[in-house]
Amino acid sequence: MPLYEYQCRECDQRFDALRSMNAADTPIPCPVCGSFETGRKLSLFSAHSNGKNLTGASSCDSCASGNCATCKH
């Protein structure tokens, strides 16, 4: 089940909730003030790859080998 981030418009509290994708945008009460005036926030994440490309696309235009694993750039 995905973890979503929300923010209360009444008390400005940010909180997370595990919810199904179908329920992601349905009203959820603020755990601090109980208001249903909450909205889902855009959650950002970071991924570490130990130098490997995570997108599947090459980020090196100068690589002539055609194989990112052997590219030294």
Q: What confidence tens digit (pLDDT) does each residue in 13-68 have?
A: 999 999 999 999 999 999 999 999 999 998 777 777 777 666 655 555 555 656 66
Count of structural domains within the chain? 1
30 strand-pairing partners: none
Residue 37 has a pLDDT of 97
In a domain, 72, yes or no: no
In a domain, 58, yes or no: no
Domain that holds residue 31: 1-45
Residue 28: CATH number of its domain: 2.20.28
Cα–Cα distance for residue pair 17/1, rounded to 1 Å = 10
Residue 44 has a pLDDT of 74
Residue 59 has a pLDDT of 52
Residue 25 has a pLDDT of 93
1 pLDDT higher than 70: yes
72 pLDDT higher than 60: no
Cα–Cα distance for residue pair 23/6, rounded to 1 Å = 13
In a domain, 5, yes or no: yes
In a domain, 54, yes or no: no
Is the distance from CB of 30 to CB of 10 less than 8 angstroms? yes
Is the distance from CB of 23 to CB of 33 less than 8 angstroms? no
In a domain, 55, yes or no: no
